Amino acid sequence: MSNPSLLILPGDGIGPEVMAEVRKIIDWFGDKRGVSFDVSEDLVGGCAYDKHGTPLHDDTMARAQEVDAVLLGAVGGPKYDKLDFSVKPERGLLRLRKEMDLYANLRPAQCFDALADFSSLKKDVVAGLDIMIIRELTSGVYFGEPRGIIKEGNERVGINTQRYTESEIARVARSAFEMARKRSNKVCSMEKANVMESGILWRDVVQEIHDAEYPDVELSHMYADAGAMQLTRWPKQFDVIVTDNLFGDLLSDLAAMLTGSLGMLPSASLGAPMANGRPKALYEPVHGSAPDIAGQGKANPIACILSFAMALRYSFDMGDEAARVETAVEKVLADGLRTADLLGEEGKSPVSTSEMGDAIVAALDASLA
Residues that bind ligand NAD (CB under 6 A): 14, 18, 74-77, 90, 93, 262-263, 284, 287-293, 299-300, 303, 341
Distance CA 4, CA 281 (A): 13
Contact between 286 and ligand IPM (CB under 6 A)? Answer: yes
Is 204 known as a binding-site position? no
Contact between 249 and ligand IPM (CB under 6 A)? Answer: yes
Is 55 known as a binding-site position? no
- The least distance separating ligand IPM from the CB of residue 29, rounded to whole angstroms, comes to 26
Q: Is the dihedral of CA 352, 356, 361, 366 positive or negative?
A: positive
Distance CA 183, CA 248 (A): 20
Distance CA 88, CA 80 (A): 7
Q: Which is nearer to Mn ion, 256 or 359 (CB)?
A: 256
The answer to whether residue 192 is catalytic is yes
Q: Using CB distances below 5 to 8 A depending on partner kind, what does residue 263 bind out of Mn ion, ligand IPM, ligand NAD, none?
A: ligand NAD
The answer to whether residue 249 is catalytic is yes
Of 50, 101, 130, 253, the catalytic one is 253
Contact between 70 and ligand IPM (CB under 6 A)? Answer: no
Contact between 249 and Mn ion (CB under 5 A)? Answer: yes
Contact between 239 and ligand IPM (CB under 6 A)? Answer: no
How big is the site for Mn ion, counted in residues (CB under 5 A)? 1
Q: Using CB distances below 5 to 8 A depending on partner kind, what does residue 94 bind out of Mn ion, ligand IPM, ligand NAD, none?
A: ligand IPM
Of 42, 68, 249, 341, the catalytic one is 249
- Residue 96 makes CB contacts below 8 A (sequence gap 6+) with 44, 56, 61, 64, 70, 72, 102, 282
Q: Is the dihedral of CA 229, 232, 237, 243 positive or negative?
A: positive
Is 32 known as a binding-site position? no
Q: Which of 232, 313, 236 is nearest to 267 (CA)?
A: 313
End-to-end CA distance of the chain: 29
Q: Using CB distances below 5 to 8 A depending on partner kind, what does residue 291 bind out of ligand IPM, ligand NAD, Mn ion, none?
A: ligand NAD
- The least distance separating ligand IPM from the CB of residue 90, rounded to whole angstroms, comes to 4
Of 142, 164, 214, 314, the catalytic one is 142
Q: Which is nearer to ligand NAD, 188 or 305 (CB)?
A: 305
For ligand IPM, the binding residue among 36, 50, 52, 90 (CB under 6 A) is 90
CB 284 within 8 A of CB 14: no
CA–chain centroid gap for 319, Å, is: 18
27-43 burial, b for 16+ CB within 10 Å, e for fewer? Answer: ebbeeeeebebebeebb
Name beta bridge partners: 240.
132, 187
Is 86 known as a binding-site position? yes
The answer to whether residue 186 is catalytic is no
Q: Which is nearer to ligand NAD, 15 or 235 (CB)?
A: 15
The answer to whether residue 68 is catalytic is no
Q: How many CB atoms lie within 10 A of CB 353?
A: 25
Distance CA 169, CA 163 (A): 10
Bond from prior residue into 78 cis (ω within 30 degrees of 0): no
The answer to whether residue 24 is catalytic is no
Is 85 known as a binding-site position? yes
Q: Is the dihedral of CA 173, 71, 256, 331 positive or negative?
A: positive
Q: Enumerate binding residues for ligand IPM (CB under 6 A).
A: 76, 90, 93-94, 249, 286, 288
Annotated binding site: 77-90, 97, 107, 135, 225, 249, 253, 288-300
Q: Enumerate binding residues for Mn ion (CB under 5 A).
A: 249
Catalytic residues, which ones? 142, 192, 225, 249, 253
Annotated binding site for NAD(+): 77-90, 288-300
